[in-house]
Amino acid sequence: MKQRIHFNEVVTRDGFQIEGEFVPTEAKVRLVDALSQCGYAKIEVTSFTSPKAIPMLRDAEEVMGRIRRAPGVEYTVLVPNLRGAERAMESRADELNLVMSTSETHNLANLRMPREKSFAALADVIRNASGRTPVNVSLSTAFGCPMEGEVPQETVLGWARRFADLGVRGVTICDTTGMAHPAQVARMCEEAQRRFPDLQLTLHFHNTRGMGLANVLAAVQAGIVRFDGSLGGLGGCPYAPGASGNISSEDTIHMLQAMGYDTGVDLDALLQVARTLPQIVGHEVPGQLVKAGPSTQLHPVPQAVTELRATL
């Protein structure tokens, strides 16, 4: 029996939110619908934030209303507060994904409030959603903050504990700016699983410094079975302009399948979708697999070799 890996595609939320040009609603809906046919366990469709804060995702209700939901796929959305949670639940989101940073400076920079204030606000959301919609919490900068540097593992797992005690279904441990290395990932994953055997633990990696798939390997070796990824490696953070962003879903799924894991994803179908992405966003994307093809896709034998063989 192959080990099952649950993959969460975040391109239309985490990828699109920092794009320079608005991706038309129709293109978003078509992309989600195409991804729905690929076999993902979960798709993070959009974000119910203020249209002023993230204008790229100002069409959250319309996108959620128009997508065709595939059986077996969970449709999750990012939610920053009570108002967003109400909108998300009205849109019949299967899950609310809340977010705060484990670094005080990063939380102040991104969410404009101290971590304790974020926690109190998210706790309200969790209590309000209780019995209606499952909640996941994404903990940012869990492997390092671009301004503070190291974030102690104890700090990260401390926040995870406080959310677990509120009854969330899952926690995503996020390497928001690609600072994690595999030894650190292995330690974090082992300890998180030991402390939270009943939580759905997801790992979210970026490839900012080229370590994305190495970190996936370290996590999967440690027993993690849930990952976020972004089609084409779209997304990223403003602290590393020009560098890669999120790990590429197709590159990650290709590696895991080659190693014998069951991701549930139809890689050929996924690559067809991935090939449309540069046109949707109007620029090249970092994913490698569209350029190189899967390692199982062979090249024809050159004519010169055939001729040479005939002379041997």
Amino acid occupying residue 141: T
Q: For the CB of residue 46, give the shortest distance to a second copy in the complex, in Å.
A: 26
Q: Which of 128, 243, 269, 272 binds a second copy (CB under 8 A)?
A: 243
> Which residues between 211 and 230 bind a second copy (CB under 8 A)?
211-214, 216-218
Does residue 1 interact with a second copy by CB under 8 A? no
CB 149 within 8 A of CB 183: no
Rounded CA separation 143/284 (Å): 28
The answer to the question of residue 274 lying near a second copy (CB under 8 A) is no
Can you tell me the distance from the alpha carbon of 150 to that of 24, in angstroms, rounded to the nearest whole number?
39
- Residue found under tokens 């976020």: 228
Ramachandran angles phi, psi of 52, nearest 5°: -70, -40
Query: Is 95 within 8 Å of 136 (Cβ atoms)?
Result: yes
Active-site amino acid positions? 237
Using CA atoms, how far apart are residues 28 and 67, in angstroms rounded to an integer? 9
The residue range among 8-16, 64-72, 106-114, 196-204 that interacts with a second copy, by the rule CB under 8 A, is: 106-114
Task: Tell me: does residue 55 bind a second copy (CB under 8 A).
Answer: no
> Which range binds a second copy by CB under 8 A, 18-26, 118-126, 144-152, 165-173?
144-152
Judged by CB under 8 A, which stretch of 36-44, 166-174, 253-261, 274-282 contacts a second copy?
A: 253-261
Rounded CA separation 237/240 (Å): 6
Residue owning tokens 């509120």: 166
Q: For binding to a second copy (CB under 8 A), which residues are involved?
A: 105, 108-109, 112, 114, 144, 146-149, 178-179, 181-184, 207-214, 216-218, 239-244, 248, 251-252, 254-255, 258-260, 287-289, 291-296, 298-302, 304-305, 308-309, 312
